Amino acid sequence: MMLPWLNRVPLLLAVAWGLGGLETPAEASLCYEIFDDTSGSCVELLGDGLSQEECCLNLQYGFRLHKDAPCEACRPAAWSEWSPWTPCSVSCGEGTQQRSQACYGQGDCGQESRRWELKPCGLDGCCPVMGGWSEWAPWGPCSVTCLRGAQTRERTCTNPAPTCGGTCPGSNVETRSCDTQQICPTHGNWGSWGNWGACSATCTPEGPGPKPNKQRRRQCNNPAPSSNPPGNRCPGDDQESQACAGLPFCPQDGNWGTWKPFSDCSVTCAVGRRLEKRLCDSPAPKYGGQPCRASDTRSFACNTGVPCPVDGHWTEWTEWTPCSRHTFTGKIECREIPGFQRRTRKCVDRAHDGKRCPGELNEMRNCYSINMCTLPGIWTDWSPWGLCEPACGENPMRSRKRECKAVYPDYSMDIQAAAGSSKVFNTSFWGKPWPKCEPLEGQRLRLVETVPCQNVLPCSD
């Protein structure tokens, strides 16, 4: 479907950050190169002086009407992919999980902008069972070898052990004070500093910043720590530093100058990029310094004013027409007499010289009509449990079913095109037959079982 504003092609407009002399269009917005369908966010800003119509010349782009506005997609409205299922609503026993999808784009997807699904989870989990403590172990040794310290003892959560993630209440460690009745050692103290060593570099940086330094050392010998009982070593460092003076300047690296225009627009339709270039001259490297790092080019948005091509895509196939045979005057239903069916589709939304849809508009097939025919039937196995419904209403339920399915007649499914021809057509059954099964719990066509969903998550919107 072509958006109405795509018929109005604006004039060429180049928008550059930092370049003056251009007027801001009406309804100016922020234009982005990518609209992220997963999160509904805009990525890769192209420019902030484009109108919505100019940005959306490419339907893959996204825009914001102002910097605090939500991101919007240029394309026609469509549902996003389903979000991941949320964690189970309970850590044990039966709960529920939830997921949703949002409507992004221009227009709407119906009466809702977000829809939800809910399913059961944790059907086989177990709930935590608390454990019990063992007896305390003997007290451990004292934490010091002189004067007073502390000692601890422990116990384990094994009497009985917890299950399914349970724990034991309280602590597994107990502490009390202890006296060693021993004399403490002599601790060390620093002696005098030694002479300064050589400088750490032969040059000094120009301007502020770290400078070269020199160091000196000292020994822990005034007194030295005792060995029996052992004393502590001297606190602090055994060396210190001091800045050096009178050194020559070190090499100075270069710095970038101002940006200048460098290239034409990168695309021939919608909004693209234009390059700018800069020089390493503010200042240039000196004292043997390094040249400028990083890139000497950057890009900014430019608008060609030309819509991009939009390729066509097929609609869904129509339903197959009823199975019939125009050259046969009798009734073909419930008989081994082949007929024919036809279905069609349309190529839509092609615009601005986009590609045509590949493939055919029409499709035909051979068929046997079993519509309204009474056929023998057989009960299916139970289907998997379905989703919780309603997803956002009260008392959601889940269900499963068994159905009486028709046993199709043993007709030939390969039909020769014509006498003497080697070409064979596959044939399909068409119509809604009446299957006949033995009654199951009083039901003849369908048996349904429903149960309530447990620990249901609420919908956030």
**pLDDT tens for each residue of 238-276:** 888 888 887 888 888 889 999 988 888 889 898 999 999
pLDDT recorded at residue 94:
86
Mean pLDDT of 122-139: 83
- Per the prediction, the chain carries an average pLDDT of 85
What is the architecture, at CATH level 2, of domain 4-79? Alpha-Beta Complex (3.90)
Domain map (residue ranges) of the chain = 4-79, 260-303
Q: Minimum mean pLDDT among 141-145, 190-194, 246-250, 296-300: which range?
A: 246-250
pTM for the whole structure: 0.50
Q: Minimum mean pLDDT among 62-66, 374-378, 403-407, 456-460: which range?
A: 456-460
pLDDT recorded at residue 23:
38
Q: Minimum mean pLDDT among 43-52, 166-175, 422-431, 441-450: which range?
A: 422-431
* Residue 13: pLDDT over 60: no
Tokens of 409: 């007649």
Name the pLDDT band for 211 (thresholds 50, 70, 90). confident
* Residue 280: pLDDT over 60: yes
Name the pLDDT band for 166 (thresholds 50, 70, 90). confident
pLDDT recorded at residue 148:
87
* Residue 150: pLDDT over 90: yes
Measured distance CA(172)–CA(158) in Å, rounded: 11
* Residue 84: pLDDT over 80: yes
* Residue 436: pLDDT over 50: yes
* Residue 15: pLDDT over 50: no
Mean pLDDT of 285-311: 89
Name the pLDDT band for 437 (thresholds 50, 70, 90). very high
pLDDT recorded at residue 12:
30
Name the pLDDT band for 28 (thresholds 50, 70, 90). low
* Residue 387: pLDDT over 90: yes
Name the pLDDT band for 330 (thresholds 50, 70, 90). confident
